[in-house]
Amino acid sequence: MGGTGTRTCRLNGGPLELLVLVWVLVLSGPTLGQEQGSDVKVVVREDSDVVLPCSLSTKKCVVTEVFDWRKDPQKPDGLKEVFLYDAGIHYNNGRPGQSEEFKGRVSHFQNELKHGNASIIIRNTKISDSGVYTCYFPRLQPRQTFYINLVVERVFKDRSGENPAASPEPYIRTLNATSDSALLQCEVRRATPKPKLEWRDGAGNPLPAEETRTSERGDSYNITLVTTVNKTDNYRCVVTQEEISHQTQAETFVHICGKVCEYSSREAFGWIGGLSLVALVLGLVLALLVVTNIISVRCNKGSRQQRKGLHENASEML
């Protein structure tokens, strides 16, 4: 792993990848980033953790040594103090002097110091962390300096809380919905820089725009995007501002019935009509039975009274 030139390591920031890199540093014979001109380029995605390698080829124990990590300034404001270790005393156990932007985010590998490994890990990387870092051993003879070029790649995410220019969530609504389709509208107002709007289905597939309206007032933009959907799904309107790597979205659920709903409705009305007819017939039969019963009772009562009167008349004649 020695020699001149640049070695690039692309990391995803996962625990396994970081552990593997540390062991590579320990087991490798040649020195990484020697002062003779070689360096290491490490590429990592924003918000990930990254290991900056610094390991002596001799594997000399550095537990009682001094090593100082600094970041070359992107502006003429002096070197940034990243991590300083001096025989067990460092920025994470009371030593002052660390640059504010690195406080609480940088640590070393204590158990690897005996193998000459002075690598550090920077957690939750930011775009501003990109730059050239030096790992310097001032007490070694000859003195050794290692150079690591860190590149932090931007990721699209919601930056509403960190950038005042970031657009808020879009306003979405359903303009028209039938049994076969729905018209969806997404709207963003007073956005700067100009955003890109896109409708996507539940699987993330982009949907064709039926209509796009854009108006400009000064440096801000009002944009409205309309699309038509014809199936039940979750639909998202995604707003992207590439210049500031900002992305936000709003989501809505659309239920499209289609012919199934129409058939279901007809069947439902058929069942309701059938049940109503049965109920009506049963009601008429019940009413007829009640009336018949009342007439029968009255007839029986009249017959008894008539027979009683005839019996009384016959008794008087005797």
Query: Where do the domains of the chain lie?
Result: 6-153, 171-256
pLDDT tens digits, one per residue of 81-106? 999 999 999 999 989 999 999 999 99
Other Cβ atoms closer than 10 A to 57: 15
| Residue 165 CB contacts under 8 Å (≥ 6 apart), including other chains | 192, 193, 241, 244, 246
Tell me what percent of the residues of the chain surpass a pLDDT of 70: 69
In sequence order, which residues have a C-beta less than 8 Å from that of residue 9 and are 6 or more positions away? 21, 40, 41, 42, 43, 53
105: Cβ–Cβ under 8 A, 6 or more apart, which residues? Answer: 122, 123, 124
145-158 residue pLDDT tens? 999 999 999 999 99
3-state SS assignment for residue 306: helix
Which pLDDT does position 75 carry in this prediction? 65
pLDDT at site 18: 47
- Per-residue pLDDT, 233: 95
Is 70 exceeded by the pLDDT of residue 116?
yes
Mean pLDDT of all residues in 239-248? 94
Arithmetic mean of pLDDT over the chain: 80
> pLDDT confidence of 45, banded at 50, 70, 90?
very high
Type of residue found at 281:
V
Least confident of 108-112, 142-146, 156-160, 300-304: 300-304
pTM: 0.62
| Same fold for the pair 6-153 and 171-256 | yes
In CATH terms, the superfamily for domain 6-153 is Immunoglobulins (2.60.40.10)
The whole-angstrom distance between residue 203's C-alpha and the CA centroid of its chain comes to 14
pLDDT of residue 1: 37
The pLDDT of residue 270 is above 60: no
Q: Which residue has the tokens 């979750």?
A: 234
- The arrangement of secondary structure in 171-256, i.e. its CATH architecture, is Sandwich (2.60)
Higher pLDDT, 62 or 281: 62
Question: Which one has a higher pLDDT value, 77 or 124?
Answer: 124
